[in-house]
Amino acid sequence: MAKKSPLVKGGVAATLGLALAATAFVAPANAEALNTGEVIQPTEGTTQINLIGFNDFHGRITQVDAFAANVLQVQDTFGADNSLIIGNGDQVGASEFESSVAGDQPSKDALVALGVDSFTAGNHEFDKGQEDALAIRDTFGTLLAANVIKADGTPLLDAYSTYEVAGHTVAVVGAVTQSTVSGVSPDGIQGLTFTDPVASVNEYAAQLSDGDESNGEADIIIASYHEGGPTSGTYDDNASNELFAQMANETSTEVDAIYEAHTHQTYNYETNIDGKIRQVVQAGQYAENVGQIVLDVDADGNVVSSSSSVIPTYNADGTPRVDATTLSADSQATYAEVVGIQDAAVAEAEVLGAEQIGVVEEDITRAKTYDATGAVTVQDNRAQESTLGSVVADSMMLWAQGVGTDALDADLSIMNPGGLRADIAGDGVLTYKDAQTVLPFVNNLSVVSITGAELKNVLEQQWQLDANGAVPGRPYLQLGISSNVDYSYTGSTSDDPLTTQGTHITSVYVDGAPLVDDQVYKVVMPSFLAAGGDNFFALNNNEGVYDTGSVDLDAFVQYVESLPDTLLEPEQTRNGFQIDGYFGEDGAAPSIEAGAEQTITVTDVDLHSLDLVANTTVEVLLDGNVIGEGTVNGSTLAGETTTADVTFTVPADTAAGDYTIQVVAQPSGSTVNLPLTVTATEETPAPTTTPEPTETPAPTTPATETPAPTQSESQSQEPQLVTEQEHYTTAESADGVNYVGVNFTPNQPVSVSIKFGDGESQSVEDVMADADGVISGSLTYQTVDQTTGAVLEDNLPWPAGTYTIVATQGELSATVTFTVGDETGAATDGTSTDGTSTVPAADNNGSGDQLATTGANETAMFAGIAAGVIALALGGTLMLLRRRNTDA
């Protein structure tokens, strides 16, 4: 283990060989470093500093034996005096039961015994507030956070620590993610400011390299960020993330290596920033890896070369990679001390955790992300509803209602998804350990009194914005909500968030009654949320907060023990559906005439937990009667979004007034209530009778004859199709060819195709006829890459020629023909003498010089952009009113 030193330079240095000094290492900018998963070996005759980093350990005390062997083997390779062990944050918090049941003391003791030199603060070091962070610092001996500033302008914790390694002074400068303010209880960090981590690291890097011995100096500077990139993929994948790019590109070139953390990803990159070559490493999570960086240093303390590797703790079969008996004698003694701490913690936890508190026969889990085969790719999808979130929320509310005091007479409850840290397996037995593993933070429960208007704002804030109005790394957070609440929303969630809060939630019901804006509701939640955590700032606009004095874990245990036969079952219904096509643009519920139809689109009707109930139909009910039904398309377990189009009819005999309808997904029974105003059917006035002339009798028609329909009457019964113009100049055609059709079967799809002059036909799109049987659209000419399907160019002039649009709906069909050519209306290019088009196919492109990419298909065309509004006048006359899409 490296020894801590005063802030002075060391006096011993090795000499580099001439060849190394003369050939500086050069690598491509931002190339990925070689990562074989093997320990980097020393280079003879070269002074090297061996850095051993890890991150997001999260109290994994049951893994610490294999992890310690991994760390010690990497240290043995270069020797303790040439090595530095660096923890990059979240050493504790969200921990295993065996650690958390003892306040994470076993994990703290094990890491100290292992010989970790430098600890950076993570957000979880602030889980219990700043006083606890200071206590953790005292246990570790150091806890770094250059960017956590007190009200007096000074850092709460150490900004950096220095160490003597291989005869050189090495400084580690630490900084924690700025998102800490939304990830811990605001009450616990009151008075603290979390500043820009990169700016803070750069400030101290400058100080440590300015030549002024009085403010600290170091030969080598390491940045330890508890912040990181969002993926374990390539450098370019991460470089598109603003936070990662800032750390990689803007960290001072005085910094010689960068460790990252927080996002639990695994990567090591080699970057070249203004000629500065350095390694950027994050080592995953939960003791699974160590991140090794080796720095080659010249006699003046300059880093002339570097390399990195991320080394797994376990083999592919799950066995520890390192046999502890192969370690050096000193390392074996350290290992034995760590294992002794582990064994004691596990033994104590076995006694405390073995107590059975209930029975569970089905899995109750967090939301998952699935791939196309139905396999789980993400174990904790915080952007979706889950059986576990609902069960925990229900436990808080029903516990509070069962206490029997007015202060705890809760109306509903909410649970933050990040507070759920494990699933419950349906193996028959639910133990105290199982419950604590799910709820490791042991948050106090609060009852927040809040108006309906602000409660709606809380639901809006699931679409996340931080205190600065920026979209955070998790743009949508799905609250767990007690099962007596349902709501509807419009727009997207995590896949394409709309960042304007206040536009999503369209209805909220509590116990089947609509939310009342000025009514005060009592909402049970963890103290973390009650203080506005996770960017749910509307909770601060409350009418009062009552601390129950109990914690979420105790409430959950008491709830389970109160159940019949202590049987805990998954809550398989969703609280919220996305419903489009129902509410107006102003959010108002519709008024529908008795006997009229309404079509809505219902999206995402399934939970996303294991063993979810996959819904197949969506019903609409009024007064308990089904008035409409639609089929669910898509499969949650295939990674798709489920959706259903439902047309319902208000019964003609429904009296005018205000109603509540239910949208129900079956077979889960998930239900969302919607307000509805029914208006009376407008009576059709009786036809007036014209008196017969007194002088000249009107001619009569024999009863056996039927009057022949007029031309307009007969035409009005058949589908008709028109274009805005019969002829387009080539310049006009670039704006698109607008078409409209009438007399199709309402609310049914119509297939639209284009026929060229040479007889070739190409399918364009399917459009839906509206309630009046009308279709409309606009056709534009494009070039499309045949390999990727990407549109290369849009709104191109059409080749001169004759074209026919064909609209088909079952046995119904309509056509319209138009031409493209010069100003006179003649087809000047691409037509034969008989007027047929000779528009070439893609493999014989007569105007190939217009194609930007080889392999483009010029006849793949027609973005279907809505373009027309029509009116059908008396007598069957068809009229087209033009409305162009200005951004087509």
- Tens of pLDDT, residue by residue over 360-378, are 999 999 999 999 899 999 9
Residue 661's pLDDT band (boundaries 50, 70, 90)?
Answer: very high
| 667 prior amide bond cis, ω within 30 | yes
pLDDT of 524 above 50: yes
pLDDT of 28 above 80: no
What pLDDT was estimated at residue 664? 98
The residue count of the chain comes to 888
| Helix (H) or strand (E) segment spanning residue 201 | helix 197-208
Contacts of 539 (CB under 8 A, 6+ apart): 448, 450, 454, 458, 525, 529, 530, 531, 532
Is residue 738 assigned to a domain? yes
The pLDDT of 192-201, averaged and rounded, is 98
pTM of the model: 0.59
Residue 24's pLDDT band (boundaries 50, 70, 90)?
Answer: very low
Is residue 391 assigned to a domain? yes
Is residue 690 assigned to a domain? no
DSSP labels, 33-88: PP--SSPPPP-TTSEEEEEEEE---TT-GGGHHHHHHHHHHHHHHH-GGGEEEEE-
Measured in degrees and rounded to the nearest 5, phi and psi for residue 745 equal -65, 125
pLDDT of 841 above 50: no
Q: Contact, 155 vs 145, CB < 8 A?
A: yes
Q: Contact, 680 vs 656, CB < 8 A?
A: yes
The pLDDT of 687-714, averaged and rounded, is 40
Is residue 497 assigned to a domain? no
SS3 content of the chain, % helix, strand, coil (to 5): 25, 30, 45
User: Does one domain contain both 134 and 179?
Assistant: yes
Q: Contact, 434 vs 557, CB < 8 A?
A: no
User: Does one domain contain both 405 and 527?
Assistant: yes
What pLDDT was estimated at residue 824? 53
| Helix (H) or strand (E) segment spanning residue 664 | strand 657-666
User: Does one domain contain both 560 and 592?
Assistant: no
What pLDDT was estimated at residue 122? 97
Chain segment 758-805, per-residue pLDDT in tens? 778 788 878 888 878 888 888 888 776 655 556 667 788 888 888 899
Is residue 864 assigned to a domain? yes
User: Does one domain contain both 279 and 300?
Assistant: yes
Q: Contact, 477 vs 383, CB < 8 A?
A: yes
388-410: b (≥16 Cβ within 10 Å) or e: bbbbbbbbbbbbbeeeeeeebeb
Range with the poorest average pLDDT among 46-50, 474-478, 869-873: 869-873
What pLDDT was estimated at residue 757? 76
pLDDT of 873 above 60: no
Range with the poorest average pLDDT among 252-261, 616-625, 717-726: 717-726
CA distance 136 to 188: 15
CA distance 867 to 862: 13
pLDDT of 669 above 90: yes
CA distance 681 to 690: 27
User: Does one domain contain both 743 and 639?
Assistant: no
Is residue 338 assigned to a domain? yes
Contacts of 54 (CB under 8 A, 6+ apart): 67, 71, 86, 87, 88, 283, 287, 289, 290, 291
pLDDT of 670 above 60: yes
- What is the total count of domains within the chain? 4
First to last CA, the chain: 65
Q: Of residues 550 and 797, which shows the higher confidence score? A: 797
Residue 287's pLDDT band (boundaries 50, 70, 90)?
Answer: very high
Q: Amino acid identity of 501?
A: Q
pLDDT of 79 above 90: yes
User: Does one domain contain both 729 and 673?
Assistant: no
Percent of the chain, pLDDT > 70? Answer: 82
Range with the poorest average pLDDT among 21-35, 326-340, 518-532, 699-713: 699-713
What pLDDT was estimated at residue 117? 98
pLDDT of 302 above 60: yes
The pLDDT of 276-284, averaged and rounded, is 96
Residue 405's pLDDT band (boundaries 50, 70, 90)?
Answer: low
User: Does one domain contain both 582 and 554?
Assistant: no
What pLDDT was estimated at residue 790? 61
What pLDDT was estimated at residue 791? 64
Contacts of 17 (CB under 8 A, 6+ apart): 45, 46
Range with the poorest average pLDDT among 173-177, 193-197, 537-541, 838-842: 838-842
Residue 708's pLDDT band (boundaries 50, 70, 90)?
Answer: very low
Q: Of residues 642 and 698, which shows the higher confidence score? A: 642
Is residue 759 assigned to a domain? yes
pLDDT of 857 above 90: no
The pLDDT of 410-420, averaged and rounded, is 94
pLDDT of 869 above 80: no
Contacts of 11 (CB under 8 A, 6+ apart): 167
pLDDT of 439 above 70: yes
Cα three-residue angle 374-380-385, rounded to 5 degrees: 80
Average model confidence (pLDDT) across the chain: 83
User: Does one domain contain both 555 and 435?
Assistant: yes
DSSP labels, 375-394: -EEES--TTS--HHHHHHHH
CATH number at residue 592: 2.60.40.1930
CATH number at residue 225: 3.60.21.10
What pLDDT was estimated at residue 683? 60
Q: Which of 500, 535, 566 is a domain's end point? A: 566
Residue 500's pLDDT band (boundaries 50, 70, 90)?
Answer: low
Q: Contact, 256 vs 278, CB < 8 A?
A: yes
Is residue 503 assigned to a domain? no
Q: Contact, 238 vs 473, CB < 8 A?
A: no
Measured in degrees and rounded to the nearest 5, phi and psi for residue 140 equal -80, -25
What pLDDT was estimated at residue 800? 87
Residue 492's pLDDT band (boundaries 50, 70, 90)?
Answer: low
User: Does one domain contain both 135 and 200?
Assistant: yes
CA distance 258 to 281: 6
292, 294, 314: which is closest to 303 by C-alpha? 294
pLDDT of 530 above 80: yes
What pLDDT was estimated at residue 81? 97
Range with the poorest average pLDDT among 284-298, 707-721, 786-800, 809-823: 707-721
CATH number at residue 544: 3.90.780.10
Residue 416's pLDDT band (boundaries 50, 70, 90)?
Answer: very high
Q: Contact, 371 vs 383, CB < 8 A?
A: no
Q: Which of 346, 381, 407 is a domain's end point? A: 346
Name the H helices within 632-741.
711-717, 730-733
Give the distance from CA 369 to its chain's centroid.
11
Residue 858's pLDDT band (boundaries 50, 70, 90)?
Answer: very low
Chain segment 110-126, per-residue pLDDT in tens? 999 999 999 999 999 99
Structure tokens at 611: 């063993």
User: Does one domain contain both 559 and 610?
Assistant: no
The pLDDT of 225-247, averaged and rounded, is 93
User: Does one domain contain both 420 and 319?
Assistant: no
pLDDT of 838 above 50: no
pLDDT of 815 above 60: yes
Q: Contact, 146 vs 155, CB < 8 A?
A: yes
Residue 864's pLDDT band (boundaries 50, 70, 90)?
Answer: very low
User: Does one domain contain both 49 and 184?
Assistant: yes
Tell me the residue range of the domain where 177 lies: 3-346
Q: Contact, 783 vs 793, CB < 8 A?
A: yes
pLDDT of 495 above 70: no
What pLDDT was estimated at residue 515? 97
pLDDT of 36 above 80: no
The residue written with tokens 């939640």 in the block is 525
